[in-house]
Amino acid sequence: MSLFASILSAAEDQSLTKHAFLPEKAEYIYGTIASVVIFVLLFKLAGPAIKKALTGRTERIDKELLQAFNAKAQSESEAAKVRADKGDIAAERSRLLAEADTTAATMLADGRSRLDAEVADLEAKATADIATGNARVSGELQNEVAALAAAATHRVMSGGLDAATHQDLIESFIAKVGVGT
């Protein structure tokens, strides 16, 4: 069949429209009525559900924002508390350091007083030792002088002394006493 014949047969067919892009008038009417009915049903039946869903979403978002605001406020208060505690830590550190300084000064003063007491004891012992040594040396010197005097007396008594021997004995005695001291 030819192209012309197919166009003629399509024109005689009632199911085809007269215009390629526009529908028939009845289709406009039925389509409009059907669309209005569907939109009315959607507005009446689905409208409250959509409104409820949107309201719920808004409430959920508001609740999440409120929770976020509360969490932020709580975090800020905890941060302020941590900062305050940190300040307390610095104050406690200062207090402990001051206490340690006081304790160290007290210990240093106690140590110095103990050292001074020990030094005084050692000086007293040294003085006592020196006095004891002087007494011992003095006693030994007296014993030595007594022994020399006894020896000199024995010589004088055993023989006669002339002036020169007497003078030699005295000088010898003085020299020995001088060496002994």
Query: How do the domains of the chain map onto residue ranges?
Result: 24-180
The pLDDT of residue 148: 82
pTM, 2 dp: 0.34
For residues 114 and 97, what is the distance between their CA atoms, to the nearest angstrom? 25
The pLDDT of residue 99: 93
The rounded average pLDDT for each run of 10 residues, N- to C-terminus, in the chain (181 residues) is 58 59 82 93 89 93 94 92 78 88 93 92 92 88 83 70 76 76 55
Is residue 17 a contact partner of residue 23, using CB atoms and an 8 Å limit? Answer: yes
The pLDDT of residue 160: 64
The pLDDT of residue 27: 85
Would the CA dihedral through 156, 162, 167, 172 be positive or negative? negative
The pLDDT of residue 2: 64
Give Cβ neighbours of residue 19 (< 8 Å, ≥ 6 apart). Answer: none
A 10 A CB-CB count for 156 gives: 13
The pLDDT of residue 165: 77
